Amino acid sequence: MKLFRVLPLALAMLAGAAQAELLKDPQWQAWLDAGKSADLARAAQARAKAQPDDDQAAIALALAAIDDNDAARLEASIPALQACADKRPQAACSYALGRVYGQQAMTASVFKMPGLAARTKEQFVKAVEQDPALFEARSGLTQFYLMAPGFAGGSAAKARELAAEVQPRQPEQAKLLRALVAMNDKDWAGAERELASVRPGDDRTVARELRGEWSRLGFEFMEQKSLPKARGIFEALQRDYPAHAAGPYGLGRVLTEAGQPDEAVKALERARALEGAERLPIDHRLGQALIAKGDKVAARAALERFVQNKRANPRNLEEAKKLLAGLA
């Protein structure tokens, strides 16, 4: 039974993978990137009502449901995605369907979880076969192979194969995949070299994936108490992606850990106003920084906002509730 407890963590990490640029409407993609799932869902619902077989609407509704982790909407998104994947085969639909199954597996029972994991892998494999150049699908499958235990289809060797296959035609993307493999091997220096060598140019998908992998590496260094290295990464993210919350959010985490709560609060407050903030547990971490600062009133307000957040990760939610209880 212990093995079955590994899979939800793997799929949870996958759910936070780089967002795919699968939406042809620039406004829809902008809403997805910014975490504005309510706006995206409204627009997609309107189109689906007028055009029931519109595949872009099906994909958008699924990705919005994933963002909100809404179980009913996740289940409701499956028929349209399945119809697209089966009758009008498209890699984007297979990829989105794999993401839905992966999200469902996160909260499934130990009996249903392996089946959902198998469906996740099946759809990612299908998406890569349908469009070998669709990096989002290749990245998703790579992360599945790296994070899922062997009994659920995980395979580090297959992850390396996916990176090698894409090298001739998409070398920058191959570097990102090799960085994922290196992090899985705990080769932090190797991952850092790969990421530092990536040149995204005007490829927004590569830029988003690069931002996400740098952020992950920053938190790995933070876990190892290598705070100067982590701080350097998040300061660089703040500089290179000034409109996105990842940099100041990570920096705020590091500053709290380093015993600089005043500066941490400033960084986290900055992060709250930026793109992608809705996907991050900012108010939870802001509450921690405010407690360290000694401002219990503001800390309580931040933590109360967080526990009302329907997107809150269960682990963060549990920690935030404990902090609130301590302020009572």
DSSP string, 194-208: HHHH---TT-HHHHH
Q: pLDDT for 21-45, tens place per residue?
A: 688 899 998 888 888 899 999 999 9
pLDDT, position 166: 93
**Per-residue pLDDT for 310 more than 90?**
no
When the pLDDT of each residue in the chain is averaged and rounded to a whole number, the result is: 91
pLDDT, position 33: 81
pLDDT, position 4: 42
Tokens linked to 173: 């993307």
Q: pLDDT for 81-101, tens place per residue?
A: 999 988 888 899 999 999 999
270 within domain boundaries: no
Q: pLDDT for 97-152, tens place per residue?
A: 999 999 998 888 888 888 999 999 999 999 999 999 999 999 999 999 998 888 88
Nearest Cα to Cα of residue 283 among 268, 296, 297, 267: 268
pLDDT, position 44: 97
Residues 161/186/95/74 CA torsion (nearest 10 deg): 150
pLDDT, position 109: 86
84 within domain boundaries: yes
**Per-residue pLDDT for 193 more than 60?**
yes
**What mean pLDDT is predicted for residues 186-200?**
97
Q: How many domains does the chain have?
A: 1
List the CATH number of the domain containing 113: 1.25.40
Confidence grade of residue 5 (pLDDT, cut at 50, 70, 90): very low
Residues making up the chain, counted from first to last: 328
281 within domain boundaries: no
**What mean pLDDT is predicted for residues 307-319?**
87
pLDDT, position 150: 86
Angle at 77 between CA 75 and CA 83, to 5 degrees: 120
236 within domain boundaries: no
pLDDT, position 311: 80
Rounded to whole angstroms, how far apart are CA atoms 94 and 103?
A: 14
Q: Any alpha helices (H) in the chain, and if so which ranges?
A: 2-15, 26-34, 37-50, 55-68, 71-87, 91-106, 113-130, 135-147, 156-166, 171-184, 188-197, 204-223, 227-240, 246-257, 261-272, 282-293, 296-307, 314-327
Nearest Cα to Cα of residue 244 among 285, 269, 289, 211: 211
Confidence grade of residue 315 (pLDDT, cut at 50, 70, 90): confident
**Longest distance between any two alpha carbons in the chain, whole Å:** 59
**What mean pLDDT is predicted for residues 272-297?**
94
Angle at 193 between CA 187 and CA 198, to 5 degrees: 130
Lowest pLDDT segment from 133-137, 147-151, 226-230, 266-270: 147-151
113 within domain boundaries: yes
* Percentage, residues of the chain above pLDDT 70: 94
In the three-class reduction of DSSP (H, G, I as helix; E, B as strand; rest coil), residue 276 is classed as coil
Q: Is 143 within 8 Å of 17 (Cβ atoms)?
A: yes
pLDDT, position 21: 63
Residue with more model confidence, 10 or 262: 262
In b/e form, how buried is each residue of 252-278, taking b as 16+ CB within 10 angstroms? bbbbbbeebbeebbbbbebbbebbbbb
pLDDT, position 30: 87
267 within domain boundaries: no
314 within domain boundaries: no
Nearest Cα to Cα of residue 249 among 210, 288, 301, 307: 288
Q: Is the dihedral of CA 123, 124, 130, 131 positive or negative?
A: positive
pLDDT, position 128: 95
24 within domain boundaries: yes
**Per-residue pLDDT for 7 more than 60?**
no
**Per-residue pLDDT for 282 more than 90?**
yes
Domain that holds residue 59: 1-164
